[in-house]
Structure 1
Amino acid sequence: MESNNFDYQYKNVIQLDDQASSRKFIANVFMWMFVALGISAFCAYLFATDINLLSKLIDLSTGRRTGLGTVVMFAPLAFVMLMSFGLNKISAPVLTVLFILFAALMGTSLSFVLLVYTASSVLGVFITASVVFGIMAIAGYTTTQDLTNFGSLMVMLLLGIIVASVVNMFIASPGLSKAISYIGVAVFVGLTAYDVQKLKRIGAGLEYGLADTKKMAIMGALSLYMDFINLFLSLLRIFGSRK
């Protein structure tokens, strides 16, 4: 999954010049992001190490994905679209459940990664991605420079990556794949800073505790989760060691 950036529209936001409100909102966003990462990591490990579960996703005799495996690969995108386009119609509890299910499905689909790359390289890249993500998140939160135009540029590059990735599905060019990975690292590093700044501004204009605030925290966590996962996958394609 390469697409992660959505322009959310929220109504009846109460404007408050309150740094405490912003900090609480950001803390809630990161809490849900970490919960999602934990669920995904657990599901990925479970399906990669349990042969009975793995056989539901892959035909062990041929190495091809089963029908369920194909569904699992694309289901997270469907959940992202459902949460994004149905945001104003979905209640906060339902959105939370959808987010948890999304994280579980995403983790299940990531179990394929553990089958391709060595455990040590996956762990090393995960730590690297975590450090880079953390640095850019802090930069986005603390910078006083407006990153709106920069974020728009990153979104345009992201769209280019999506188009190039679709094209590469047909031509299977190793060179293009490598270029997409390098550009992807730059794009998701930039989007991390941009998204954190955007969420900081959203949090500063919210009255913490409203139902809409909970929904916005979930969607913010989704955005940062996708930034991190795509950064991790881009780095893994460059530095990961295959089995």
Structure 2
Amino acid sequence: MENNSSNYVYNSVTQLDDSETASRKYLAKVFAWMFVALGISAFVAFEFYLNQGLMSLILDPVTGGFTGLGYVAIFAPLAFSLVINFGFNRISYPVMVLLFVAYSATIGVTLSIFGIEYTSGSIFTVFLSAAFVFAVMAVSGYKTSMDLTKFGSILYVIFIGILGVSLINFFMHSQQLDYIISFVFVAVMIGLTAYYMQMLKRIGAGVEFGTESTNKLVIIGAFILYTTFINLFMSMMRIFGRRR
């Protein structure tokens, strides 16, 4: 009985260790792709900001408003997001990587506008603040033993609702409503960061490495965390950013 009991405990611990190792390996790949996406976005943002010829493609130098291509750049990430989210089973891994890279680049185009509206010092400060908040909540989500599923589901519903309101306000140009939306976005993104980390941790514990499905799950995970961080950063910029 003692030997059987010992073996049972040992086997259970081994399984937990294996799942923990798999989860960490999966999350390491997820964060690697997330950092790649951030690098692409930063590169594109700087290129557009420093090159007036490129910037004039999205902002009319006379009126200061968006050009036709500018509107495409603003709404393209939403289209990429829908394709990546709902095309998991139909899209191959190389195509998903290409879509993720293109998505990151279009986000970079949007971020380049921040360089015109806000001071470089405030952009740097808010970015570091957003990164710190994101890191704290990511660690919390990874470490917590509390099931965040119901909490995350409620936050996601709120996110969808406030996203719809923000799209409407994009054409209404209400600064007061935009300010309120930014605060709600920050709160929702903070909560979703913890929820998504717990979700991805559980996904990583059960994946089989070396398959195309797992490779695509890595890209999906990177897409989720990258999008969450970008939404957090952009919302914090609208609240705390110092305008020129």
TM-score (norm 2): 0.89
Partner of 1:131: 132
Partner of 2:74: 73
Runs of 4+ in 1 over 4 A off after TM superposition: none
Q: Tell me which structure has the larger Cα radius of gyration.
A: 2
Taking the TM superposition and a 5 Å limit, the aligned residue runs for 1:1-243 are 18-169=19-170, 171-243=172-244
Shift of 1:170: 5.1
Distance 2:172 2:98 in 1: 38
Partner of 1:5: none
TM-score (norm 1): 0.90
Distance 1:84 1:215 in 2: 11
Shift of 1:164: 2.6
Shift of 1:213: 0.5
Which has the higher mean CA deviation after the structures are superposed, 144-153 or 175-184? 175-184
Partner of 2:5: none
Three-state SS of the structure 1 residue aligned to 2:91 is: coil
Partner of 1:3: none
Where structure 2 has 5 or more consecutive residues not aligned to the other structure, the ranges are 1-14
1:128-172, Cα deviation, whole Å (9 max, x unpaired):
000000000000111111000110111121123123324434554
Q: 1:96 to 1:66 in 2, by over 3 A?
A: same
Q: 1:58 to 1:173 in 2, by over 3 A?
A: closer
Distance 1:81 1:204 in 2: 26
1:76-114, Cα deviation, whole Å (9 max, x unpaired):
111111111211011111111111111111101211121
1:175-195, Cα deviation, whole Å (9 max, x unpaired):
322221111111000000000
Larger relative contact order (C-alpha < 8 A, sep ≥ 6)?
Answer: 1
Amino acid at match of 1:80: S
Shift of 1:218: 0.2
Richer in helix (by share):
2
Which has the higher mean CA deviation after the structures are superposed, 20-29 or 49-58? 49-58
Which has the higher mean CA deviation after the structures are superposed, 178-187 or 29-38? 178-187
Three-state SS of the structure 2 residue aligned to 1:87 is: coil
Distance 2:33 2:27 in 1: 10
Amino acid at match of 1:233: M
Q: 1:95 to 1:186 in 2, by over 3 A?
A: same
Q: Could you tell me whether the CA contact under 8 Å between 1:22 and 1:204 is conserved in 2?
A: yes
Amino acid at match of 2:226: Y
Amino acid at match of 2:98: V
Which has the higher mean CA deviation after the structures are superposed, 218-227 or 151-160? 151-160
Three-state SS of the structure 2 residue aligned to 1:18 is: helix
Q: Could you tell me whether the CA contact under 8 Å between 1:24 and 1:208 is conserved in 2?
A: no
Q: 1:152 to 1:176 in 2, by over 3 A?
A: same
Q: 1:67 to 1:172 in 2, by over 3 A?
A: closer
Amino acid at match of 2:186: V
Distance 2:106 2:84 in 1: 14
Q: What is the percent sequence identity of the aligned residues?
A: 50
Q: 1:62 to 1:178 in 2, by over 3 A?
A: closer
Amino acid at match of 2:123: V
Distance 1:182 1:61 in 2: 32
